Structure 1
């Protein structure tokens, strides 16, 4: 573990902004919220934030992206794949988002390797930061995602006028060579551990049991339609919970032809299982037309389906879905706790 003075780290960030060919992205304040956006000065960087509106997955899986271009001119049909890759240094990723990105890495590497996602990941550097402030909706402490020891190139822990820096990769090591640093003392290492332990007392929301039990709890409640119908009664089917989630990866694909029908593009965009048209297939059949079934599917996917496939609980406890839900019915910690009570009665 290394130690860097904050002034030196800020100078490094400014040097990267001015001299490095890669885009430098960091967490910044916007209208009393926080967002990942391109940095123009280290003074704009807010590493004390609670949660961002959208997760950093948007840089590897953009909201919209063209994946293919095609044309039909002079009798020749030409098709070309498209992958707009930009090298980035992303600063200020919280542990729960790092865990989420590691999950997406598995998904987009499985069976069919998604080059559009994987190439963007390959060309990125992730600088994580341990949480200092916790949003009212976050329960990452219960999900084991409030801290992490993997998924980053560098991980910062605030120690007042300096950062403790854990180097997690060769790319992270190369970055550290650009800034003055020293080895952490034993007392500084102890302070890092103490800071992480004290963080656990800041979470107001929590899961009342181990997340390891979640797949079983959900499986036992699958046919409990009274529960799902009651809790989904006020759902607008707007998909906001899907769109802000760091582990949701569903997308739709559109073919967009030019008016002359001689050329066009294939575009993919974020989609969500709470949207009414999500499960419509050929012939117009909708196999999750019922709102309660869509609501149930979301929670089953987070705590059961992905676990069965990859061994991961796909809810990292960031709380974004709960905070963005207008009727206030999307808080996973409440639903998961009530589901446990259902099988204990």
Structure 2
């Protein structure tokens, strides 16, 4: 499991072209692409269209809709013109792949552009992963129709799953799991998939910050002592962020991860530097209660960042039907953190409520309890 970028786009496209090049002498218009209703030819053109569309979205920073353009191959729909042959179609796939890979490499990590699923935007890693998924899955479809062997590397399939299918529990092997998650295969003990969407990471805006949802690969890097792909200020990330990243990885590997109820890194708008971490300990319980935690690098403290971020995350969470109450637990001696909670709209629970909470959750009675309902 690794972060997804331009190199992985190149790898996926190279594998696609190498596989299909062995059958360029076949009539691709007469062969159906696996389970799809499309021919192999139409599917190949679709792959190229997706690659250029994702490059266009990301390069143009489209914010409200898809950029309204597409590609047309020579002779496509024009009677009397010489239609591009299969080898030329592969050249178009190679070219559009280079365009996406180059755009991904040259786009700042914090930049986002419109994509509908599921939160209305994606960053460069999301567009790279979506492009790779289109290539891998449709190469599988075309290879099946043409009777060709095809299987991408396990590492590439695993990275796509962790990036845009973080809600899918890992299976016995990455490639069969990706095929199952997209309705193209079966996995023991799992029902067939009949409808699916991939899931880009959630980003919540605040006044001076953005709260950027952390993907499993970035969380694993943070847990192992890396930067998770973020540009941290001096002293960051703090240990609490690394511990939270470890919790996210454990939830993902166990199949209980809910991406929108994971870890967020706080990134300053003015310079793109990461200053802290904030997030949920788990998804809401059956009563809609969910615990929240946060920390900041020492150099970022005293500037109101934690209050701002906590307020934005609380507002987002409490607007969801499945959340009825947020709570946080803090050491009695940690007065600055208690002040952050109060300024973010949390109330200190009474002694009876604290005792009941500790009894119910088996939590440390030495911690203060702060709650917010609205």
TM-score normalized with structure 2 length = 0.23
The structure, 1 or 2, with the larger RCO (C-alpha pairs under 8 Å, 6+ apart) is 1
Rg comparison, structure with higher value: 2
Structure number with the higher helix fraction is 2
TM-score normalized with structure 1 length = 0.25
